Amino acid sequence: MIDFSNLSPEELTGLSITLPLAHLFEIVEHTAERVVDKFKEEILPAHKPVDQDPLIPRLEVMRILGVCSNTLRNWRRSKYLEATLVGGKVFYRTSAINTILDKYGKEHI
């Protein structure tokens, strides 16, 4: 049997392989399983569905935290409270607001 992993790209050029269709299906299925497994391990954990961490508009955040617009702007600029711009408007993630509330011992939203 030939070990194809040791062949250079030039040696592989023009190479033909004959194999039963069932073996080809096994290779494709195995490759697809590896791609799906990698997706589950690397992509999905980093992705939060939008509804699990909704965005809250600036005015609502000011009310929740009991701060004025200047304080909120200073917190955003200093990266104390991360903001998201959507269509030129400022929004904050629920998780970021809950982190601030934790620091002050207030109830989560």
The pLDDT value given to residue 10: 84
The residue extents of the domains of the chain are 4-46, 50-103
The tokens for 69 are: 């617009």
Handedness of CA 34, 50, 103, 69 (dihedral sign): positive
Cα separation, 26 vs 28, in Å, equals 6
Residues 45-96 have pLDDT tens digits of 766 665 678 999 999 999 999 999 999 999 999 999 999 999 999 999 999 9
Average pLDDT over the chain, rounded to an integer: 86
The pLDDT value given to residue 90: 94
Cα–Cα–Cα angle for 93, 88, 81, rounded to 5 degrees: 30
3-state SS class at 50: helix
